[in-house]
A and B are shown apart, each in its own frame.
Chain A
Amino acid sequence: MENNIVLTARGICMTFPGVKALDNVDFTLRKGEIHALMGENGAGKSTLIKCLTGINDFEAGEIRVDGVDGPVKNRSTLDAQRVGISTVYQEVNLCPNLSVAENLYIGREPMTAFRTINRRAMFKRADELVKRLDIHVDVTQNLENYSLAIQQMIAIARAVDMNCKVLILDEPTSSLDDGEVEKLFTMMRNLKEQGVGIVFVTHFLEQVYAVCDRITVLRNGTLVGEYPIADLPRLELVSAMMGKDFDDLVDIRPEGYNDRTFDQPEIEARGMSHRGTIKPFDLDIRKGEVVGLTGLLGSGRSELARVIYGADKNQTGTLKVAGKEVKINQPIDAMNLGMGLLPDDRKAEGIIGDLSVRENIILAMQAKRGMFRLIPRAKQEEIADHYIQLLQIKTASRETPIKQLSGGNQQKAILGRWLATDPDFLILDEPTRGIDVGTKTEIQKLIIKLAQEGKSILFISSEIEEMIRTCNRMAVLRDGAKVGELDGELTQERVMKAIAGGSKE
């Protein structure tokens, strides 16, 4: 093995029922580099990672790790950790009910002479570790008291402290805001200095160019190639991922889209609020309009949408839908008024894993019709097939349990669920999070198409760029309050300034 190489995978093959997930894939990781693993949904990134960490049992090929003689075959994540491969997943895999220190050291706590845990030593070591990594937490506190970003960093700290040679970060940034992402990057660069090889999986192209040294691209379970970052500019990366020339920066707005006028009001919110989450706000959304909600993570974007939809009870003010004052006590009321909400946490609030793709798609439609008026099976299948095709959901069949689909495809299925109810007003909360670039553009195009058909859309996204491309108007939130609106020419700079508020100008 070459001196500076910490991990090689050669000819990895892996088959899931009906799908060839990985076909003869090679991967090489060097010491002290941040290596992006890129690909569309279902390209095999997660599968490859799971092969490396011992969750998946690959069929052919071999993995070698620096410092271990012969091929490594991990049977569990524990095995992988022993040879120096640690992973931090998108969903934080820690125990919220244990203290930060315990989460860092569980399974390898410092022991006293009596084979009991030396809590004092553990807290001390944990405190030193988090200080060294510049995380400001009280290690004796339960993990659940801290934000997701901190939890993510604790997860990385845990991995780092296990003397890992290979650190795999699977979509670690998808639930972090910009400042937190920057912190994470600093941490990654520090680790790189220390000689750790980092595999970074993300859907944010900017982030790849911000920290990575090298890119490996996968497509449909096969290796496209490995490139130094300088040799693969953005556009080429996208086309490598998609397998076709594709410009993700093109203006997706069709002719005449910008010249439309809006006169019919669809949603008129006056002084609505929910104590503790969002202060009273006014918001108008007119027919055919796409309104974006922007602001930092935790500024109250989702919360505002939840109040309109009735997921959180509106405690003050009024709401008019299509000119009529309405009272929404629970989401079903909103659905009956022609609203739909695509929640941002698709695992917890969106998919029902054991139900099939078909069942997941017709779910909202069925709920709207009432439990006892079953949609005929043939009709269900027709609807499901229609949206599977329209949204290009990659699934073995419409009867496949949805949990077997990749994240992006699950997201598409939920989007299909709401489109099936034919809503007049659709709230999309981070519909493109964790989705590859190609699909992102598809979804953005779909939003514009829906708007042209006269539907009103409230669009929430952390990616300003994507909002600029789709929104007619934007509302800006800060610290749980709506602080302003932007219309006319939307530019990145204007939006950033509005989000940052007075302090930055």
Chain B
Amino acid sequence: MKAPANAIKRRSGSINGHTLLMLITIVLFILLYAGGCIAYADKNFTRVQTFLNILRSSAGLICVTCGMTCVMLTGGIDISVGSLIALDCMILAMGMGDWGFSAVVSMVLVLVLGIAFGLFQGFCVGYLQIQPFIVTMAGMFFARGMTAVISTDQLSITAESSQWFYDLANYRIYLPFGGYLNKAGKMVMPYIGWGVVVSFAVLIVIFLVLRYTRFGRSLYAVGGNEQSAAMMGLNVKKTKMLAYVLASFLCSIGGICYAMNTMSANVNQATGLEMDAISSCVIGGTLLTGGVGNVLGSLFGVLINGTISSIVQTNGKLASSWPNILTAILLCFFIVLQSVFAILKDRKK
């Protein structure tokens, strides 16, 4: 019997390449986190809550990164997301404050804005065939500019503007495990906020969409070979447009999570967040050239970035620029790794 042996050989062969890259990302995250735990055991790093805090502060970024992954799969990029988040927060703060809208109306407004924003950017990229970098750069300036037009003040979302939103943002969902005894001898259970729940819901939905829907597979096809995708009868233009709509929509969901976390709005909010999202995708194994990647990898990319920040914060003595430097090193490492894999693969042929 030859066939089974063959099949096994192929299977093990497929572990190489992209799956391996993602595994490396996951292992790296675990090592990094374990390192943090060992080094800062005395500073509560080992508490479950520390990990959950990373999730809480990255909830918005996780949503944004999911959208970014979809866009990058098509071979595109969306650098407008950071500015769009600033605009989202501003609209939420002003909407519930000066404009006197209810929290729900403000949130719907933000989501509709996201879709409209994405439709326009996606139309330019898909149908007018303009470079995504240029289109979303224009979007980036526009969103940041509009934020300033609405207000240049430092605003906060307070209980007075919307009690409901305030409660929502501060609501603690306690986990049934992983607690610790505080000094008073009371059991403190770890908790998460709604933002984490939303971001994981987004993550799961996008994971399933990418794997099991026609649209999701079309994203991969377009990124793999655009001409072929067209030849095989896929609507490339529409697929590309929808990718940007999805990215901006998820970014707006992320914006709401972000606002719940910061409860404030100002012109300079979330500057450079688009770069965090892109670097998370790349560290998670998404190729800038498109066609390869998935949101699970991107999640670990976000977590690695979050862990680095958390370690630097916990240390307390390191300059705040260290996360940037570490991220840079990691990016380098992964890009080099990707290239090495590509070269090895070529050689095999």
* Contact residue among A78, A97, A141, A158 (Cβ-Cβ distance under 8 Å from B292): A97
Known: A77-B233, A94-B225. A107 touches B214 (CB 8 A): yes
Q: Which of A87-102 contact B (CB under 8 A)?
A: 89, 92-98, 102
Contact in complex: A109, B228 (CB < 8 Å): no
Contact in complex: B208, A116 (CB < 8 Å): yes
Contact in complex: A106, B221 (CB < 8 Å): yes
* Contact residue among B7, B13, B218 (Cβ-Cβ distance under 8 Å from A106): B218
Known: A97-B291, A116-B208. A81 touches B233 (CB 8 A): yes
Closest to B10 in A: A138
Q: A93: which B residues are within 8 A, CB to CB?
A: 225, 227-228, 231-232
Bound CA span A94–B232, Å? 8
Q: Taking the nearest CB of chain B, how far is it from the CB of A473, in angstroms?
A: 30
Q: Which of A104-124 contact B (CB under 8 A)?
A: 106-107, 109, 115-117, 119
Q: Which of A138-167 contact B (CB under 8 A)?
A: 138, 141-142, 145, 158
Let me know if B213 is at the binding interface, CB within 8 A: yes
Q: Taking the nearest CB of chain A, how far is it from the CB of B36, in angstroms?
A: 35
Let me know if A70 is at the binding interface, CB within 8 A: no
* Contact residue among B213, B214, B221, B233 (Cβ-Cβ distance under 8 Å from A95): B221
Contact in complex: A95, B220 (CB < 8 Å): yes
Contact in complex: B291, A107 (CB < 8 Å): no
* Contact residue among B7, B231, B291 (Cβ-Cβ distance under 8 Å from A77): B231
Bound CA span A62–B220, Å? 37
Contact in complex: B214, A117 (CB < 8 Å): yes
Contact in complex: A117, B213 (CB < 8 Å): yes
Known: A138-B10, A145-B13, A276-B347. A97 touches B231 (CB 8 A): no
Q: What is the number of contacts between chain A and chain B, taking CB atoms within 8 Å?
A: 73
Bound CA span A81–B231, Å? 10
Q: Would you give the 0/1 interface string for B216-234, flagging 1 where the beta carbon is closer than 8 Å to chain A?
A: 0110110111011111111
Interface residues on B, range: 20 to 34
Q: Which of B279-325 contact A (CB under 8 A)?
A: 291-292
Q: Taking the nearest CB of chain A, how far is it from the CB of B226, in angstroms?
A: 9
Closest to A107 in B: B233
Closest to B213 in A: A116
Q: Taking the nearest CB of chain B, how far is it from the CB of A452, in angstroms?
A: 38
Let me know if B212 is at the binding interface, CB within 8 A: yes
Q: B292: which A residues are within 8 A, CB to CB?
A: 97
Q: Taking the nearest CB of chain B, how far is it from the CB of A244, in angstroms?
A: 37
Q: B218: which A residues are within 8 A, CB to CB?
A: 106-107
Q: Would you give the 0/1 interface string for A483-502, flagging 1 where the beta carbon is closer than 8 Å to chain B?
A: 00000000000000000000
Contact in complex: B233, A138 (CB < 8 Å): no
Q: Point out residues on A near B: beta carbons under 8 Å.
A: 76-78, 81, 89, 92-98, 102-103, 106-107, 109, 115-117, 119, 138, 141-142, 145, 158, 276-277
Q: Point out residues on B near A: beta carbons under 8 Å.
A: 7, 10, 13-14, 208, 212-214, 217-218, 220-221, 223-225, 227-234, 291-292, 347-348
Can you add 13 more A-B contacts, CB < 8 Å, to A78-B233, A97-B224? A92-B228, A93-B228, A94-B228, A95-B220, A95-B232, A96-B224, A97-B291, A97-B292, A106-B217, A107-B214, A107-B233, A138-B10, A145-B14
